């Protein structure tokens, strides 16, 4: 049975990915900054919730030791943990910049650096980074968030070139507007305005992302690496 580690798994896209893989029979380890648990009668695999701050390198080392002891070191790593702190650039506080970059980008570095070692040793692994369409096309009020997600594309491409010879693939998914708790703050008018900009005229579902993660983690995607794939209803075409 394969093991998968998903950061930011307590809600939204991360939670959807965790449920999807657990129902497919994987051993799922999901992390979040606070305590949480999932219970689902349809789980064919196992689910292990883990309190973890992706910016805390000491706690990541402890998590590695714990998962190694439990034989849960991941064959598949999904870097999903991320935050927003939206503000126009001229009003953006230093902390808003630092916190978003630390979690969204440096957190991905921290987690990947720790868990890729076993993949290199095994000469096998899948790394999937959850980016954003904002990192591809930019978005007013999100200089910090867009920068962190754009950087993930460079991270993905460069790492893919380094570890390809070890049979490790590294890809990125750039979701557009997905109907999760991160878009709940939008009122009905704002949602309609957004949907009018999308060729498919609707927001996506978290399952749209989960299914692509599952494909990229499969043997069928063994010749795909270094890519950033948009799932955005045609919002950004490149």
The residues annotated as belonging to the active site are 145
| β pairing state of 168-175 and 125-130 | parallel
Buried b (16+ CB within 10 A) or exposed e, 24-51: bebbbbbbbbeeeebeeeebebebbbbe
Kindly report the CA angle at 103 between 99 and 105, in degrees rounded to 5? 110
Q: What whole-number distance in Å separates Cα of residue 194 and Cα of residue 235?
A: 10
Q: What whole-number distance in Å separates Cα of residue 31 and Cα of residue 53?
A: 8
Place of tokens 């978290």: 206
Q: What whole-number distance in Å separates Cα of residue 95 and Cα of residue 214?
A: 35
């Amino acid at each position: 049975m394969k093991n998968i580690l998903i950061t930011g798994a307590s809600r939204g896209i991360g939670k959807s990915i965790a449920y999807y893989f657990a129902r497919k029979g994987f051993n799922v380890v999901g992390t979040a900054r606070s305590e949480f648990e999932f219970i689902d009668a349809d789980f064919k695999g196992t689910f292990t919730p883990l309190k973890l701050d992706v910016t805390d390198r000491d706690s990541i080392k402890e998590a590695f030791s714990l998962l190694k002891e439990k034989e849960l070191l991941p064959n598949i790593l999904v870097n999903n943990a991320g935050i927003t702190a939206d503000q126009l650039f001229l009003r953006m506080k230093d902390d808003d910049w630092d916190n978003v970059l630390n979690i969204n980008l440096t957190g991905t570095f921290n987690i990947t650096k720790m868990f890729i070692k076993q993949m290199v040793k095994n000469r096998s692994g899948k790394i999937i980074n959850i980016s954003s369409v904002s990192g591809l096309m930019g978005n007013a009020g999100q200089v910090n968030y867009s920068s962190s997600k754009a950087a993930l594309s460079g991270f993905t491409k460069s790492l893919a070139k380094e570890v390809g010879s070890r049979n490790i693939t590294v890809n990125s998914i750039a979701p557009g507007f997905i109907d999760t708790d991160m878009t709940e703050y939008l009122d009905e008018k704002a949602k309609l305005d957004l949907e009018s900009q999308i060729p498919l005229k609707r927001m996506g579902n978290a399952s749209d992302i989960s299914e692509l993660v599952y494909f990229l983690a499969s043997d069928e995607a063994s010749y795909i690496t270094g890519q950033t794939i948009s799932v955005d209803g045609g919002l950004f075409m490149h």
